[in-house]
Structure 1
Amino acid sequence: MPSSEAILHFIWKYKMFNPLGLRTTDGETLQILATGIHNLDAGPDFHQSKIKIGETIWAGNVEIHLKSSDWLKHHHNIDRAYDNVILHVVWENDIDIKRTDETVIPVLELKNIIDKRIIENYDQLRQNNYWIPCENQLPNVDSFIKQQTLDRMMMERLEDKANIINEIYQLNKGNWEDTFYITLAKSFGFKVNNLPFEILAKQLPQNILAKHKNNPLQIEALIFGISGLLDRKFEDVYPNQLKTEFEFLKNKYQLISLDASLWKFSKTRPDNFPTIRLSQFAALVIKSFHLFSKIIEIKNQSDYVKLFEDLVINNYWEKHFMFDKEVEEKSVNLGKSSIQIILINAIAPLLFFYGKQIGNKQFIDSSLEILENVKAESNIITKGFKERGLFVQNSFDSQAVIHLKKNYCDQKKCLNCGIGLKILSA
């Protein structure tokens, strides 16, 4: 017997059996005119199904179980939502099932009409402990199926990111500049500090920063002050200047600082310390206000990168990673890989969401083009797929495999994956 009803849903949905000569357990001829729409919510498993039993055509729902007695275990016998079930599809028919009006529900038993290799393949995928369930079969899957799966994964990932941006958009009552400002700030936090960066941007509105656009020190003071990293005594002149400026601005605008403990320094390379990222973010704010307006006017892909190049960062950070701790002179500008991460996590998703929101495919295409032109990320997931024969060419592919691994492979949702479906139907 299969380990899960899910494989029976798959078998029914794709008619993974010979549809000719079917009969119900009562011996009546059965013809499947439409398997129906797979229902992932409460209620019968398939809606709007259409079948012909004997000479009668029926339209309604189909319910699927491993055993017909599961109908009683799931209490469908007292639920009128199941009275419109026209066919009970089961692996094994161990008991007659009736609707609440005592009429018997026709049954299609699968165990003797399907290829057992489908069940074996599925159980093998579900029960192994490989890094990805299909790693032994993946090299043999056609490259077209692989790319088709990656295309779908990437669109799902963009949709997920667009939903997150939409929450920010709604919170800011449809203000695109503020939406982008917060989204961009999150991306400067990268994975480790994206939450405190988001909170900072929400607590430090752009309209306050705009009032001080001609005074770089005050912009830096506002950003570092809100971060909470100025809430102590300093030895160096620069942080003391920031602190003095911020104390005045804090009282003027009734600002509230974050708790400094929100920022993560441990297990982070010095180049990624929040102090460095905050200084870079401040430099970007100083360089360019109304960034969203500039983003949507860009036609040339290389111009997206130029926005983040050559930032004028306070020279204090050329010899510091943290306040009061001097190091040898170093580069403080955003590196190429950092800019690429911002393009992946902020610019591309924002353009995708904007294009959807206003109904302009041009911006959706631009978001995809960014991902296709940015180098693939190098991490444990992309390396793992490369080792198993899935070629990752650019950030479109790397983002796709990240989504695939986290949302399908790790959860063993092989029946919802194009690669998994191909393996099962081979």
Structure 2
Amino acid sequence: MDERKRHINRLKAGASYFGCGGYLSRIGTLNRLSLYNTLSFERLNRKYGDIKKYYLASDQNWQQTFYIMLLRTMGGMDNKEAFTTLAHRVAYAHILRERMVPQNIEAMLIGASGLLDLYPHDEYILNLKRNFSYLSTKYSIEKMSAEEWRLTKIYPNNHPILRLSQIATLLTHTSDIMDRMLACRSGEDVHRLFSCETLPYWVNHYTPASSKQRTVAKRIGRTKTDLLAINLVAQMQYAYGDYIDNDKLRNKAISLLEDLPAENNSIIAQWKSYGPLAQTAFDSQALLQLSFEYCRHQRCEECPVGRQILSSIERKSDTATEIEG
């Protein structure tokens, strides 16, 4: 086995625990930033490809696409597919037609989810069901099955019904969600946009007709709005900016990621065990691209970091050969 192949195999052997993290922690800041630029733009372009599929499936309607991505991102990892299905069942055009009546938007979203069938009914829930019965006929909305949702091991504040109520409030108070997202320049802007509460009923209920709890504001919290900024707003700014070839929008997306703190998850924690490798969301997005597109598939020869490591080893080997010669 030649020397290069041996080094490639060593990189692949360390891919499962992100072994190149040691190299990233040792190189200069400018060099690391250059690698992060490459990886972050790769990720933004890959996400644009995903967004474009929803755009084409929405009859090339950007408002519907922004709405789909809003619901999908609010669903998190557990329920993003169910939220996406719901966004197709209850179209953004229906939301706009009913937005002057908050209870109607809530009835469409929660009613179409099928989740009300799992819970007992009080007067508020019965009214939601009656409203949905009327609106589903008006707009030909097909109700989902409750089985499409994952409800086990879900924190109360992340329950799909609570998230749908928050979305209903947001869409009631926001006439054009697309324009509002495109206007965001900072994490604080995103927090102000999404920091909305539910309708009053949910202030002391986590699930329908549950026993009343102490009054707790069910506002979308800072952690969630930061994730929305990273995984929704910045991605949509970049995607739409790329679609209309607008550098200002693309740069706004980058600035937003640089304004936000790095994500706090198990993957980023593993990278940070090698040193302070992620300070901003721009950094953590680069490391996620590295993890999912290269390390996971042992694509070390194609990886920007892997190629740089191999080039460094080869240069040292050539220098040693020259000295010996």
Taking structure 1 as the reference length, the TM-score comes to 0.69
Q: Distance in 1 between the 2:184 and 2:225 partners?
A: 16
Q: Give 1:352's aligned residue.
A: 238
1:313 to 190, 198, 204: 198
CA contact (8 A) 1:372 1:394 kept: yes
Question: Larger Cα Rg: Structure 1 or Structure 2?
Answer: 1
Q: Give 1:294's aligned residue.
A: 180
Letter aligned with residue 266 of structure 1: T
Matching of residue 156 in structure 1 with residue 42 in structure 2: yes
Q: Give 1:242's aligned residue.
A: 128
Percent identity over paired residues: 29
CA contact (8 A) 2:186 2:256 kept: no
Matching of residue 185 in structure 1 with residue 76 in structure 2: no
In structure 1, the gaps of 5 or more residues are 3-115
Q: Distance in 2 between the 1:167 and 1:267 partners?
A: 31
Shift of residue 301, structure 1, vs aligned partner? 6.3
Matching of residue 143 in structure 1 with residue 23 in structure 2: no
CA contact (8 A) 1:228 1:259 kept: yes
In structure 2, the gaps of 5 or more residues are 313-325
Shift of residue 297, structure 1, vs aligned partner? 4.3
Matching of residue 323 in structure 1 with residue 208 in structure 2: yes
Letter aligned with residue 314 of structure 1: L
CA contact (8 A) 1:146 1:419 kept: no
> Which one has the bigger helix percentage?
2
Report Cα offsets for 1:347-404 as digits up to 9, x if no partner: 1111101111111100000111111111111111111111113520111111111111
Q: Give 1:262's aligned residue.
A: 148
List aligned pairs for 1:380-419, cutoff 5 A.
Answer: 380-389=266-275, 391-419=277-305
Letter aligned with residue 319 of structure 1: N
2:90 to 187, 198, 204: 204
Report Cα offsets for 1:162-201 as digits up to 9, x if no partner: 1111111112232221111111111111111111111111
Q: Distance in 1 between the 2:186 and 2:270 partners?
A: 33
* SS of residue in 2 equivalent to 1:318: helix
Q: Give 2:221's aligned residue.
A: 335
Q: Distance in 2 between the 1:192 and 1:177 partners?
A: 25
CA contact (8 A) 1:158 1:349 kept: yes
CA contact (8 A) 1:352 1:363 kept: yes
Alignment coverage as a number of residue pairs: 311
Shift of residue 291, structure 1, vs aligned partner? 1.4
Shift of residue 337, structure 1, vs aligned partner? 0.9
Shift of residue 157, structure 1, vs aligned partner? 1.0
Q: Give 2:59's aligned residue.
A: 173
Q: For the structure 1 residues 119 and 173, does the alpha-carbon distance in structure 2 shift closer, same or farther, using more than 3 Å as the test?
A: same
Q: Distance in 1 between the 2:246 and 2:15 partners?
A: 44
Q: For the structure 1 residues 130 and 141, does the alpha-carbon distance in structure 2 shift closer, same or farther, using more than 3 Å as the test?
A: farther
Report Cα offsets for 1:101-143 as digits up to 9, x if no partner: xxxxxxxxxxxxxxx3x34322222235751243454443333
Shift of residue 302, structure 1, vs aligned partner? 3.7
Q: For the structure 1 residues 294 and 128, does the alpha-carbon distance in structure 2 shift closer, same or farther, using more than 3 Å as the test?
A: closer
> Which one has the bigger strand percentage?
1
2:100 to 214, 218, 233: 214
Q: Over the residues paired in the alignment, what is the CA RMSD in angstroms?
A: 2.0
Letter aligned with residue 317 of structure 1: W
Q: Distance in 2 between the 1:185 and 1:292 partners?
A: 13
Letter aligned with residue 122 of structure 1: I
